Structure 1
Amino acid sequence: MRVRVKSAPIRYGGKRFEPGTEMTISKEYFEGILFELIEDESNEETVESEAAREAIVDEDGGEIDE
């Protein structure tokens, strides 16, 4: 996840990050009180996989049965 540190300095991965600093963190460490979300890579992967799934059709031209 790409985030921006909000109002208080934080430590992550043994480094100190000042407010306004952009950084990449694991989703499990995201706290809305500490970070402003810039980009959520997992969301993009979901969108891409859904688009790929929609592009696949069965031989009859219908949708895939799950």
Structure 2
Amino acid sequence: MITILFIVELTTTGYSAYAKDFDIYPVGTTAKSMEQLRTNLLHATNLYLQDHGEGAVKKPNI
């Protein structure tokens, strides 16, 4: 299983997160709460991995 490190930042409207190695894993998202950010990261990461033939991650891994 791969490990992707995400940078999480507080914004004026909530939170943003993006992969530290964005040039390798171009995954990022925003949300109003941390729980929604985790959900959005799960969906965005799985979309990217599915597109590249990798297995899906589950919510406990985010």
Q: What's the TM-score, normalizing by structure 1? A: 0.28
Q: Larger RCO: Structure 1 or Structure 2 (Cα < 8 Å, ≥ 6 residues apart)?
A: 1
Select the structure of larger CA radius of gyration: 1
User: Hey, which of these two has a bigger chunk of helix by percent?
Assistant: 2
Q: What's the TM-score, normalizing by structure 2? A: 0.30
